Structure 1
Amino acid sequence: MSYEQFAYLYDELMQDAPYDEWVRFVKEKLDKYQVDGKSLLDLACGTGELSVRFAKEGFSVTGVDLSADMLAVAQAKAQEEGLNIPFFEQDMANLEGHGEFDIIGIFCDSLNYLKSDLDVIHTFSCALEHLKDSGILFFDVHSTYKISQLFIDQTFTMAEDHLSYIWNSFAGELPNSVEHELSFFVLDEQTGKYDRFDELHYQRTYSVQQYSAWLEQAGFEILEVSADFQPTDPQPNSERIFFIARKKPS
């Protein structure tokens, strides 16, 4: 999976993403569970949209992502806002050396990009090691319904004067997995011609029960599981599942 070109198109493609909803959701839950600390590790932070928003809300944010290109965009964004956010290039399944935080977030279905069971298990273990006692882990994932019913065998398109794409989704080899084949056509304003960039993205999800079991095995207490930014239990047609888990005191 490559993010070399995608990193510089990502913000435009995601301009309608409900980033402010994520921030609101986290703040409300921190109040609910009486978390006073403000140190936040934003795993798979991408282009830093949420890192910047949390920093502007008074959190002490550290961002980690696997893509150097995504991090370059994030760093430029933080500097433009006058924010001092340290960003690090690292795999969240092999996270090390960042100290302990009050809060860890893995937002925007980033966990679904991990390719194996072990990667998810290792990520939960690494998150536990980087949380203070009673620290809180937030993450959201695509539901199995969304992967199987709303992605697989679907085609999505966008056509603008300066940017167009064709996005085809196919069933992956493993259960509840999907492969996204994306072709972007980006206008070169100097030549008036379009450059084509191709990307292959892979996502996989698991049942609520499986994520819950892995969290508990890692040493977390599950505080709540909800769906689609609503204070309700996941339903058969829920699209995005939210987990909140607390590190058990040692």
Structure 2
Amino acid sequence: MGSKGSYTGFAYIYDELMTDIPYDAYVDLISIAADGITGKKIIDVGCGTGLLSVKLAKAGAAVTGVDLSRDMLDIAKKRANDLSLEIEFQEKPMQEIEGDEQFDAAVIAIDSLNYLPDRESVLNTFNGIHSVLKNGGVLIFDVHSTFKTDVIFMEGPFTFDNERIAYIWHTEEGDEEHSVLSELSFFVKEESGLYRRFDERHQQRTFNVFEYVDLLREAGFTIERIFADWEDEPPHEESERIFYQVRK
């Protein structure tokens, strides 16, 4: 949804709003691409509250989670500790990832890459992940399609209400091509029955498929598969979520 770097009041209700995300499908995607998960070293980039990190660790991976938001990571650490899972969490921007070749797989799940403001940041992220992957290591990520940013998001405002949490989500076109500004007003029901309000303002940006391919190749990756909307089908003009599987 918004920029994970500035989720503050939002962090503790994030999980409840992400219940429809098929994280198990992501585990399957990684397992197939990495030839299994047990014993593999995996870096979960933009890990948020650790929902995917925990699933990967439960499946037997040695997981490192990276995120910009301390509030998100605090929840992720508690989640891992409560389940007695050994997961390393690092607070840093994804475009500052660096290190030696140690990971079998990397994942940037649920449009986390769309929180970066420009091509340079995306390229820096790809370069950094490439540097920490072993030869033959795989990167899987998804991004919003340009159709989603340019058309779907412009159909707002969007509303949500599950009787405990409600939000009104206003969207407008951003300054850059294929970018969207989101203003969200959240209302969270307290024990007293009153609602507490807090507001968030976020920006997302995406690029077309060919631009991502160029940036990936510039970082040294080989493109293996591009598909859309959780299906093993190529993107079409109204696809909303584009997936990339690439290898070092």
Which residue number corresponds to residue 21 of structure 1?
25
**Aligned residues: CA RMSD:** 1.7
Displacement after TM superposition at 1:100 (Å): 2.1
Per-residue deviation, 1:30 = 2.7
* CA-to-aligned-CA distance 1:186-216 (integer Å, 9 cap, x gap): 1221x43221110011110001100000110
1:143-222 alignment runs, 5 A limit = 143-189=145-191, 191-222=192-223
Change (3 A) 1:70 1:98: farther
SS in 1 for 2:187: strand
In the other structure, the counterpart of 1:92 is: 94
Gaps of 5+ in 2: none
Displacement, 1:24? 1.5
1:108 counterpart (107, 110, 117): 110
Which residue of the partner structure matches residue 233 of structure 1? 234
Identical positions, percent: 47
Structure-2 separation of matches of 1:221 and 1:36: 24
State the number of aligned residues: 244
SS in 2 for 1:179: strand
How does the TM-score come out when normalised to structure 2? 0.94
> Which one of the candidate residues 5, 10, 19 is aligned to 1:6?
10
CA displacement 1:129-154 (0-9 Å, x = unmatched): 11111111111101111111111241
CA deviations on 1:160-190 (whole Å, 9 max, x unpaired) are 332211011111111100111100011221x
TM-score (norm 1): 0.93
Q: Is 1:37–1:102's contact at 8 Å kept on the other side of the alignment?
A: no
Partner of 1:54: 56
2:137 aligned with 1:135: yes
Residue 37 of structure 1 and its aligned partner are, at CA, apart by 6.3
Instruction: Give unmatched runs, 5+ long, in structure 1.
Output: none
- Hey, what does 1:45 align to over in structure 2? 47
